[in-house]
């Protein structure tokens, strides 16, 4: 007789995600990333803006230290006593922004094109070196400019001196513009009749900005009211070299004017390409008759405005929507306007 023994049966249950559950989890993760990404980007931009403001603070502090030592503010642009192209304000304060190695190679009696320093047995132009304090971390074109022979030639900057609203330098009588820093001469704090806390010193600019230069119109020129007037003025178009030379004291390289408010678009089309441009009627020191009038707009890669430094050393973020007249009033040293940076 055969006896059957019944063995207990066990159901094997497998754990895991079904395809539907997996898709739901992926969708939830995607939504969370989508929600978090703007916050992360905003945090990064806030950090970059704070770092940019710290750089500006170092620059204006360097100007104050320079003034304490020399008893004058540095000239925006100054012609060398011997020959060559004039040095920038930014070059004159090199010792005060911890760039002593570069400063030791500067000879202000001759133009910046002759200034070199020896590195690893090779002589390199001072102008080709990057000065970290002069560059905003948000600048997307933080790169050296190469000459036609493939040799490093110039390095850009992000912080420009205030040259006033429109007229920068008159070679006929050596009269400077209305800005805090004067072309062709030094000034003193006592010359800032509007008050240090009501006068722009520096503001942001974008490197590699296109600009028209050397139109060479003689006599007086009315300040443009709208951006389209710049296109009608024209001149020689340089498609990408504005604000790429921190050594050059000319306004299109190391300065700005308040002809237009911050980040104002000055769109001109040439050969089917639209450029957001600056304008200089004649570069300083290039002509003995044509006045340097300039529309060199303050621009930044920060959304909504630009970082600025006032002459008293304070740092402000100025919104793009600032009234044009207020912006211009802030850029004069002795206009006797009642103007303050909006909070």
pLDDT digits (tens, 9 = 90+) for 191-244: 999 999 999 999 999 999 999 999 999 999 999 999 999 999 999 999 999 999
The reported pLDDT for the residue numbered 343 is 64
Q: Where are the domains of the chain?
A: 45-330
Mean pLDDT, residues 98-123: 88
The reported pLDDT for the residue numbered 46 is 79
Mean pLDDT, residues 263-274: 96
Average pLDDT in the chain = 91
In which band, very low, low, confident or very high, does the pLDDT at 2 lie, cut at 50, 70 and 90?
A: low
Cβ-proximal residues to 141 (8 Å cutoff; 6+ apart), any chain: 156, 206, 207, 208
Mean pLDDT, residues 63-67: 97
Weakest-pLDDT range from 97-101, 167-171, 290-294, 329-333: 97-101
In which band, very low, low, confident or very high, does the pLDDT at 17 lie, cut at 50, 70 and 90?
A: low
The reported pLDDT for the residue numbered 41 is 65
Q: Kind and range of the H or E element at 23?
A: helix 19-70
C-alpha 256/C-alpha 158 separation (Å) is 11
Of 256, 253, 238, nearest to 285 by C-alpha is: 253
Of 209, 339, 326, nearest to 261 by C-alpha is: 326
**CB contact at 8 A, 117 and 124:** yes
Of 161, 131, 135, nearest to 48 by C-alpha is: 135
Give the Å distances, CA to CA, from 164 to 5, 119, 159, 161, 278. Answer: 104, 38, 15, 9, 15
The reported pLDDT for the residue numbered 191 is 94
C-alpha 185/C-alpha 134 separation (Å) is 23
In which band, very low, low, confident or very high, does the pLDDT at 12 lie, cut at 50, 70 and 90?
A: low
Residues 81-92: tens digit of each pLDDT: 877 789 999 999
Cβ-proximal residues to 35 (8 Å cutoff; 6+ apart), any chain: none
Mean pLDDT, residues 49-69: 97
Of residues 4 and 109, the one with the higher pLDDT is 109
Weakest-pLDDT range from 15-29, 93-107, 264-278, 318-332: 15-29
């Amino acid at each position: 007789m055969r006896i059957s023994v019944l063995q207990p049966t066990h159901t094997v249950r497998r754990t895991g995600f079904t395809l539907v559950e997996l898709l739901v989890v992926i969708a939830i993760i995607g939504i969370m990333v989508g929600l978090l990404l703007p916050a992360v980007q905003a945090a990064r931009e806030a950090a970059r803006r704070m770092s940019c403001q710290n750089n500006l603070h170092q620059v204006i502090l360097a100007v104050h230290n320079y003034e304490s030592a020399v008893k004058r503010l540095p000239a925006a642009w100054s012609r060398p006593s011997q020959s060559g192209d004039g040095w920038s304000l930014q070059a004159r304060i090199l010792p005060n922004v911890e760039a002593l190695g570069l400063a030791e190679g500067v000879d202000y009696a001759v133009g910046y094109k002759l200034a070199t320093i020896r590195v690893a047995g090779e002589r390199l132009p001072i102008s080709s070196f990057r000065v970290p304090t002069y560059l905003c971390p948000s600048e997307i074109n933080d790169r050296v400019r190469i000459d036609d022979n493939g040799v490093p030639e110039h390095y850009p900057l992000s912080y420009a001196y205030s040259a006033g609203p429109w007229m920068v330098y008159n070679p006929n009588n050596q009269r400077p513009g209305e800005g805090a820093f004067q072309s062709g001469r030094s000034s003193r704090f006592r010359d800032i009749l509007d008050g240090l806390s009501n006068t722009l010193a520096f503001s942001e600019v974008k490197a590699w900005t296109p600009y028209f230069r050397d139109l060479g119109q003689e006599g007086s020129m009315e300040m443009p009211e709208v951006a389209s007037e710049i296109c009608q003025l024209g001149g020689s178009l340089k498609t990408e070299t504005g604000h790429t030379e921190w050594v050059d004291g000319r306004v299109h390289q190391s300065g700005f004017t308040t002809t237009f408010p911050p980040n104002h678009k000055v769109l001109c089309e040439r050969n089917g390409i639209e450029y957001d441009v600056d304008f200089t009627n004649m570069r300083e020191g290039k002509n003995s008759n044509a006045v340097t009038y300039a529309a060199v707009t303050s621009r930044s890669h920060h959304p909504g405005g630009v970082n600025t430094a006032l002459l008293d050393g304070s740092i402000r973020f100025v919104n793009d929507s600032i009234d044009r007249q207020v912006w211009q009033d802030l850029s004069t040293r002795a206009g006797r306007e009642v103007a303050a940076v909006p909070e």
